[in-house]
Amino acid sequence: MLYCEKCRSAFEDGNQKCPTCGKIKTVRPITDDDMAYLNSADEYTANLAAEEFDKANIAYSLEKFGSERVSYIYDSEIMPTDKSIYVKASELPRAMGIISDIRMRVDKERESEEQFEDMPQKKRMWIQIISLILFLAVVAAVVLGADWIANSLKALFYGTAA
């Protein structure tokens, strides 16, 4: 396997340049002590991975996502709290198995959370109509209330209502 010193990715020997960052000069054979990029994860999943890596005595580090990785500003899947997970190259296969199990467990947890039911279109339309009517009533009440207050203040200072 080869290792990119710039983005810390591990990849197959067939590539001449890093498939992640595209650099050629930073590619070298990987050593067991290199901290290789495993995955990016949300904060919850990264903390679960840290707990499992501690139990399995796997050396790891969690870093803020995006410091060396390519990220896209308009990608709605990337959050500011996401973490990049790095593990020692010698532990990469074991760590991949652990992170895969964690991702499956987290996916099951998220699927089992309560899902919202789709509202029928007719019901949605009536709710929108009622909301619009209530909104217009609130706007009218505010305008009429402001007008009443202005007239009351005029009457107070000038002695007659306009």
* pTM over the 0.75 mark: no
For 31-112, which CATH class? alpha beta
Bridge partners (DSSP) listed for residue 41:
83
Residue in this structure with the two tokens 């995955």, named with its chain if needed? 39
Share of the chain above pLDDT 70, in %: 86
Mean pLDDT of 27-35: 88
What is the tens place of the pLDDT at every residue in 114-153?
666 778 889 989 999 999 999 999 999 999 999 999 999 9
Q: Summarize pLDDT for 93-110 with one digit per residue, the tens.
A: 899 999 999 989 888 888
- Domain extents in the chain: 31-112, 120-162
43: alpha, beta or left? (left if phi > 0; alpha if psi -120 to 50): alpha
> Which whole number is the average pLDDT over 4-31?
83
